[in-house]
Structure 1
Amino acid sequence: MNPLAQPKWAGTHPINEWIRHQTTTAQGQALIERLDCETGFALVRSRISSRREIRERCEHDGNDRTLVITFGLSGQSEFVDPFGNALPFKASHTTVSVFHAGAGERRYAANESVQQLRLVVSESALIRYIGAERCERLLGRDLRPNEHFRQIAHAGSCVSEHLRFFRNPHAGEYDGLRQRIHALSLLAEQLNLLAPASPCSERLKSRDRDALERIEACLRAHLDQPLNIAWMCTALGISEYKLKEYFRRAYGSSPARHLTEMRMLKAREMLTSGYRVSEAAYRVGYQHPSNFSAAFTRFFGYPPKSIRSS
């Protein structure tokens, strides 16, 4: 086993606390630090130096696709999959990639100090942050069985006060709220570069925002019912035109699509917590688990039973 191998992070850790793993040998040293900011979103800082070349075998697995944004701070390294496809990491460059399930090898040259900062974001967290449509635009199609990763971008890093914050070795000494603000701001900067939000020429007025919040609360409270546009309009005392207009202006989406997104995210949260597929289906308004399974698979790209089996 490689004495400088990066650790596998298992289980849950306290939010806003750095988890550190340090290894020192006669050949070199490695320091890996992870900050779990929110469910599905973490930062990883790594500093690795060795007197010999390192080739570290690694595997990645999970139900979600994962977006990895790597900022090269010093030195260079690469990730190589079993087919020889390489993902480069280089000082002053940002590498953006998508992983799902597969294996590969991290490679570090001898006598070189490599420092990197990674934003690791699950697909479900991305949907929560930027919506399903924008997430799909960013991640693209599902990876094929023989694809272990997909490179989205590799370019010079942009100047960022939030990146400078985490370059500071003492960043972990600041309070958790400040670290979380910088982490989310750094992620937001990158997402705006990679998948800009669709421009919205019409801003919601204050009373419209209040109405939208009331609509959202109503939908969340009745996810277990077979909702449709007519039911929403009757329950909320609003016209179909006005209802659709709220969602178009606020989300660039339709009420039906937004409702589906809410249901799928709630269902996956329940499945992860241990609910059976049939239980999750009924709780989010599906009378037939088979219909729910088909809708879930269309939305996420994998069946709900895969969460239970994993």
Structure 2
Amino acid sequence: MNTKPRLAVSIGDPNGIGPEVTFKMLLSLDLSLSTPIVSAPHLLFQQLVKEKNNFYSGAIRITPSINYISNHTQVVEGAINVLESFKCWSELEFSSSNYGQITALAGEISMQSVFAGIQLCLKKHAHALVTAPISKESIQLAGYKVPGHTEYLMEQTGAEDVVMMLSGRGLNICLLTTHLPLKSVVNHINKATLVSKIRIICTHFNSYKPDRVPKIALLGINPHAGDGGVLGYEEQEIIEPVLESFHNDPKVELSGPFPADAFFGRKQFLEYDVVLAAYHDQGLTPFKLWSMGKGVNCTLGLPFIRTSPDHGTAFDIVGKWEAEPDSMLEAYKVALAYLSSPQKTDPI
């Protein structure tokens, strides 16, 4: 009977830094606290071991025990378990000559790895999922119609709605919309969507901080939060009525809409538990400046915990073993903290 939390880990795009930061993260783990199950081709992982021996020296040359398996029943504690989730993976060859390339095969492998991790969690063979970076271009070439992890996770789990939350250094940024062209953002924002996101955020924070009401700041959609309708009416027609509808709800404290530039410029986010940004770059640009490379992406609203680093595939440095694993390691630690806290205290 397994006693330690089991965390599924997807390998990311094999032509990007996902495998490298995953491997470095695994080397830093205390395997007495959890059991990682990495969904990856065995040959890809063995290539990482060889590259590591070429680039690393000194104390970090030691590699923990690696258990190469083809079924979840073969998982052992105290080791890095590498699960070859698909038989076709054993026929693949991996070479550094492919590094930095956007290909359908790389997209297929990365999404198969994510799928395998989802299935491990849904079938209770793993308790949480940590995903390494994928290439949106590669997965499109492979035939996937989703723009990223968040939408794929929602699709595969049957979740009615989810929230993308980036956390780091005390700042929690949630997104009202995720991977959309800027010209489409306003068309995807309405009262029902805003209410749904707020309720998912509240459910999360009420679970992990039941002793206090979460304070959520809502950012405006338009410059200067619309300037009283001069620069747009969305704040008056969508955000303000939703704020009013939650006025007597004892489970949440909402404020806004705030002009995003002044809100971050004055560091008002330090006064709130969560900031709900209207669109991707409005929230993630200040977040990445603040989190200093140690941010974690959490998907709220899934039937299991899912985290990931806050960076992409970094094709420009792959193969040089210069990629910092800090965010990937933090993603694993946050997932483990959620699983391990008997008081359900929020680790972020």
TM range (shorter): under 0.3
Bigger Rg, structure 1 or 2: 1
Structure 2 length-normalised TM: 0.25
Q: Which has the higher strand share?
A: 1
Higher relative contact order structure (alpha carbons within 8 Å, sequence separation ≥ 6): 2
TM-score by length of 1: 0.28
Between structures 1 and 2, the one with greater helix share: 2
